[in-house]
Amino acid sequence: MSIFQVPIGFALAALIGVLGYRRRALSRSGVAGAIVTGGLIFGFAGLSGAALLLTFFLSSSALSRFKESQKESLAEKFSKGSQRDLAQALANGGAAALCAVGWGLTHGPLWWVGLCAALAAANADTWATELGVLSPHAPRLVSNGKTVEVGTSGGISLWGTAAALAGSLLIAFTAFIATLLDPTLSSILPYTYTPILITFAGLAASLFDSLLGATVQAIYYCDVCRKETERHPLHRCGAPTRPLRGWRWLDNDWVNFAATVAGAACAVALWALL
């Protein structure tokens, strides 16, 4: 790894962050988050890592704008809007950035697999959220199968699960192409099942995210609107929200981070065993 790779990586991440801000995909603090995570991934994982991160960022940002007006009615349930802030950027890319540093310093294949799976998990969860809410059928809680309103934390549907699979598969396919083209990844080439493993890990992590959302994520209730929400202390209507269930410290950002860590850990464990 060249001594110039890391500063160049941060410069490229800053450029992407500014472009993301202008396209309303990132807030001002989100630009900082993109610079930190993107800089580490670009700087330590090179063009292959950049390809993975850009695939996640561009596809998820595009989907957040897809049928945006139709999703507007669900904004009251989510803690934040479509613009990613610092916490969201770190939640989605933090685990991948740590794996990228490990890969750049050691070139151990487990670090690369973890990087791919962490981003596959983030992409799977984002696709499931952005497309799952458009499902014509009501979702069910992953914990008990109870039918819930669209957008409810922990709710899954066939539509959303298929979207999660597609999002994870996209990252796995990008990783496979990078593995073929990048000489530094030659140690992983013999393992042709790696894309399948990454896809599975990303999908499993997305379902784990839903499980946390259905059981221990902090969920609040607006007595004025009579609706569950992730928003606190105020609902979108301006009324205060009160705790309904879950651990108060475990907001959606921590759930997303836990899911990406779980995705990376799942892929690494399976890759080491197979």
Structure confidence at residue 20 as a pLDDT band (50, 70, 90): confident
Give me the residue spans of the domains in the chain: 5-273
Tokens of 159: 């539509």
- Taking alpha carbons only, the member of 31, 35, 10 closest to residue 21 is 31
The CA-atom distances, in angstroms, between 192 and each of 15, 180, 233, 273 are 34, 11, 49, 15
List the single range of 146-155, 239-248, 262-271 with lowest mean pLDDT. 146-155
Structure confidence at residue 77 as a pLDDT band (50, 70, 90): low
Q: Is the pLDDT of residue 245 over 70?
A: yes
Give the integer Cα–Cα distance in Å for 115 and 112. Answer: 5
What angle do the packed helices 86-106 and 28-65 form, to 10 degrees?
Answer: 100
Which pLDDT does position 71 carry in this prediction? 56
Using one digit for the tens of pLDDT, what is the confidence trace for 215-231?
Answer: 999 999 888 888 888 88
List the single range of 96-100, 103-107, 182-186 with lowest mean pLDDT. 182-186
Answer for the pair 172, 198: CB distance below 8 angstroms, yes or no.
yes
Using one digit for the tens of pLDDT, what is the confidence trace for 140-183?
Answer: 999 888 898 887 888 999 999 999 999 999 999 999 999 888 88
Q: Which amino acid is at 200?
A: F
Answer for the pair 253, 110: CB distance below 8 angstroms, yes or no.
no
Rounded (10°) CA dihedral 269, 272, 273, 274: 120
Which pLDDT does position 137 carry in this prediction? 86
Give the integer Cα–Cα distance in Å for 211 and 217. Answer: 9
Mean pLDDT of 242-269: 94
Q: Phi/psi of residue 225, each to 5°?
A: -85, -15
- Taking alpha carbons only, the member of 173, 153, 136 closest to residue 78 is 153
Q: Which amino acid is at 248?
A: R
List the single range of 18-22, 233-237, 241-245 with lowest mean pLDDT. 233-237
Give the integer Cα–Cα distance in Å for 35 and 12. Answer: 8
Structure confidence at residue 14 as a pLDDT band (50, 70, 90): very high
Which pLDDT does position 219 carry in this prediction? 92
Q: Which amino acid is at 57?
A: F
Whether residue 195 is preceded by a cis peptide bond, meaning omega within 30 degrees of 0, is no
Tokens of 253: 């950002």
Mean pLDDT of 26-55: 93
Specify which of 74-83, 134-143, 146-155, 254-263 reaches the highest per-range mean pLDDT: 254-263
Q: Is the pLDDT of residue 80 over 70?
A: no
Place of tokens 């896809």: 199
Mean pLDDT of 234-263: 92
Query: Residues with Cβ < 8 Å from 192, sequence gap 6 or more?
Result: none
The CA-atom distances, in angstroms, between 80 and each of 55, 83, 85, 88, 231 are 22, 8, 9, 9, 8
Which pLDDT does position 68 carry in this prediction? 67
Q: Phi/psi of residue 141, each to 5°?
A: -65, 130
Structure confidence at residue 264 as a pLDDT band (50, 70, 90): very high
Query: Residues with Cβ < 8 Å from 9, sequence gap 6 or more?
Result: 38, 39, 40, 41, 42, 43, 44, 50
Question: What percentage of residues in the chain have a pLDDT greater than 70?
Answer: 92
The CA-atom distances, in angstroms, between 82 and each of 62, 95, 148, 188 are 10, 21, 23, 36
Which pLDDT does position 242 carry in this prediction? 93
Which pLDDT does position 190 carry in this prediction? 63
Mean pLDDT of 8-34: 89
Question: What percentage of residues in the chain have a pLDDT greater than 90?
Answer: 57
